[in-house]
Amino acid sequence: MAEDGPKQPQLSMPLVLDQDLTKQMRLRVETLKQRGEKRQDGEKLLRPAESVYRLDFIQQQKLQFDRWDVVLDKPGKVTITGTSQNWTPDLTNLMTRQLLDPAAIFWRKEDSDAMDWNEADALEFGERLSDLAKIRKVMYFLITFSEGLEPANLKASVVFNQL
């Protein structure tokens, strides 16, 4: 089958674990526990199975979402939720209203090498990333690991067509 024209160059951009920000958010939880304080109204506290990742847009303009490239090296499930948060050096707290919908969910079943995902939501979320790339230099994600997974088990990137 003949192709319709020249293929657009692609750019694979990895989601990178932001260890410092994850650590800071975990310290917030510990500090509240130690002081016996409660979270602010609407504040999203990091749970043990959650980590903060980032995507650095090295070419902010003219990106068109193509696909997610997610690999889990063992069975389990990850939920990738985007945030509208622009973290500043004072590490303002993440609020639940800053979590974007829909989330992309990827899983791998026992006895299978194939990845499954919530395709419609993952595609909609990916398309939103193209728009956010026009105005952002960095995008932050909250990734929730379940069924025994942890950050070491995940390799994820977003593939864009360069227009």
- Average pLDDT (127-137) is 88
pLDDT in tens, 73-114: 999 999 999 998 887 766 678 899 999 999 999 999 998 888
- Count CB-CB contacts under 10 A for residue 34: 8
- Average pLDDT (152-161) is 95
pLDDT in tens, 52-69: 999 998 766 688 999 999
Q: What is the pLDDT of residue 137?
A: 86
Q: What is the pLDDT of residue 124?
A: 94
Domain boundaries, the chain: 10-35+45-162
As a CATH number, domain 10-35+45-162 is 2.60.120.390
**What are the DSSP calls for 100-149, one per residue?**
-SSPEEEEE-TT----EE-HHHHHHHHHHHHHHHTT-SEEEEEEEEETT-
pLDDT in tens, 9-65: 888 999 999 999 999 999 999 999 999 999 999 999 999 999 999 999 876 668 899
Q: What is the pLDDT of residue 5?
A: 54
Q: What is the pLDDT of residue 70?
A: 96
Q: What is the pLDDT of residue 4?
A: 57
Give the pTM: 0.90
Task: List Cα–Cα distances, 136 to 100, 123, 155, in angstroms.
Answer: 15, 19, 23
Backbone angles phi, psi at 103, to 5 degrees: -95, 155
